[in-house]
Amino acid sequence: MATKIYETCEVELLDEHKLIISPLKIKFLREFMIEFENVKMARDDEEAIERLASCVAVCMKQFRPEISTKELVEDVCDMSMIYKIIEFAANIKLNEASEEPVKEQAEKGSSWSEFDLAAIEGELFLLGNWKDYEELESSLSLPEVTLTLSSKRELDYKEKKFFAAIQGVDLDAQSGEPDAWEKLKTKVFTKGATTDPRDVLALQGVNADMAGFGIGQGLSYEKWD
């Protein structure tokens, strides 16, 4: 089975234009998350819904620049489309059928402020594949960043483990709590379900694809409130 880095979906807008929605590149994700904070701070649910349209306008800068304003988005998108675009572009799932207000759902949504994304990009930039950070952020989405850097770190770790073993040191035995990077990687690949790579919920999405086993691939779970 081919490993999928992220999920995509097709959305047909009201003007019959079809879009393939995939995770936002970092450049646009930064702007999206700033706008999404305004959804959380909305005075009421009506304002929160209007703010969602502004979030989708940011998404359109990547997918269809000619309609990247709130007014144009409102002309071609109904609420179902808005929810779907936000889910696949920014990894934020809001339940349209829920009785819980949009504002309250948004307050529970993803935030990347706890992670040092600049430091992660700095490490990735050392690969030498981009002329500047603008090009890096325009080229990669968060799932692509995490998978690329994860591969780099795993190769580095294997090299360190080899040389440590020569000196009689077991690096695996010395590993402890997951660091901020491992938590971010787990959050991205589980769509915010967990930040703990040791949690059973971490075995889904790309992690399950790479392992060949996980939720949706022979493993199921039941959530208890």
Whether 3 is covered by a domain: the verdict is no
Per-10-residue mean pLDDT, the chain, length 225: 78 96 94 91 90 96 96 95 95 84 77 69 86 92 85 73 67 56 62 58 51 49 49
Task: Say how far apart CA 109 and CA 46 lie, in whole Å.
Answer: 18
Is there a contact between 143 and 206 (Cβ–Cβ < 8 Å)?
Answer: yes
Boundary-marking domain end, from 85, 107, 129: 107
In a domain, 204, yes or no: yes
Task: Extract the runs of DSSP E, i.e. beta strands, from 102-200.
Answer: none
pLDDT of residue 169: 63
Instruction: Quote the domain boundaries for residue 149.
Output: 117-219
How big is the chain, counted in residues? 225
Question: Are residues 122 and 215 located together in one domain of the fold?
Answer: yes
Q: Into how many domains does the chain fold?
A: 2
Tokens standing for residue 53: 């349209």
Count other C-beta atoms under 10 Å from residue 113's C-beta. Answer: 9
Residues 36 and 98 in one domain: yes
Same domain, 132 and 95: no
Within-domain flag for 2:
no
Q: Tell me the C-alpha distance between 158 and 161, whole Å.
A: 5
| Residue 60 sits in the same domain as residue 97 | yes
> 209 to each of 58, 111, 147, 212, how far by Cα in Å?
30, 25, 13, 5
Q: What is the pLDDT of residue 219?
A: 44
Give the model's pLDDT for residue 101. 81
**Structure confidence by residue, pLDDT tens digits, 30-45:** 999 999 999 988 888 8
**Do 211 and 122 fall within a single domain?**
yes
Please say whether the beta carbons of 59 and 24 come within 8 A. Answer: yes
Q: Helix, strand, or coil here: 75?
A: helix
